[in-house]
Amino acid sequence: MNASLYYYTFKIIMAGDAAVGKTSLVRRYIHHTFKENYLITIGVQVSTTEIKIEKATIKLIVWDVAGQKTFQTVLPLYFKGADAAILVFDITNRNTFNNVENWLKRIRETEPNSVVILCGNKTDMTYARVVKREEAEKKAQELGVLDYIETSAKTGDGVQELFLITVKRCLEKRLKAIKKVT
Ligand code: GDP
Ligand code: MG
């Protein structure tokens, strides 16, 4: 047995418009599968997984919230206490990209200090791409979001990287907060 010296728990929320691939990204990362048929997420679905980085064991609690308008009034309840938000848009759908700002505003209203990672999903659909990487990187910068990651929940491209960078940012923040009080 390889005992961990440190144990952290992080709450991560998936944010972004309906059908951008939030549920698919979680499914790909945690369950290593992908489904073509579209299942509307009702309310919220919570999944957990553990990862090890050096001497630390990190428990991730991933909240997958529905993007449907009817759920938006209860969103602050879901966002509360989030260490990080993965804000997803669909690179083949400009509307979902335009809505990133609104989502960010919502997240920051509830958790002003949480880590935010911008994610452009569906990179396997190269022929249908309407949002260029450079454009998304620029937007992230303008909005004060540190990281922009492109993914395909279908092929799995970038998905490990997405969750790993999210966890690393959470760790950095947690360690900084610990330094401040000691
Ligand atoms: P959510 O509403 O944001 O949770 O979106 P879903 O994960 O339910 O995905 C919506 C639709 O997009 C489904 O039909 C998925 O199969 C499809 N989808 C999700 N991610 C990808 C991807 O990376 N590539 C492709 N081609 N389709 C995707
Ligand atoms: Mg969903």
CB-based contact 11:47 (threshold 8 Å):
no
CA distance 46 to 98: 27
Q: Which atom of ligand 1 lies closest to the CA of 152? A: 23
158 lines ligand 1 (CB under 6 A): no
How much is the pLDDT for 131? 98
Ligand nearest to the CA of 153: 1
Mean pLDDT (the chain) is 90
24 lines ligand 1 (CB under 6 A): yes
**pTM for the full predicted model:** 0.93
Instruction: Name the residue with tokens 């937007």.
Output: 139
Instruction: Say how many CA atoms lie within 13 Å of 128 toward its Cβ.
Output: 10
Tell me the pLDDT tens digit for each residue of 21-41: 999 999 999 988 787 766 666
Q: Residue 54's pLDDT band (boundaries 50, 70, 90)? A: confident
91 closest CA partner among 117, 118, 123, 116: 123
CA distance 87 to 72: 15
CB-based contact 110:153 (threshold 8 Å):
no
Q: Per the structure block, which two tokens stand in for 129?
A: 């791409």
* List of E strands, 42-103: 44-53, 56-65, 84-90
Helices (H), the chain: 22-26, 75-79, 94-98, 100-110, 133-142, 159-181
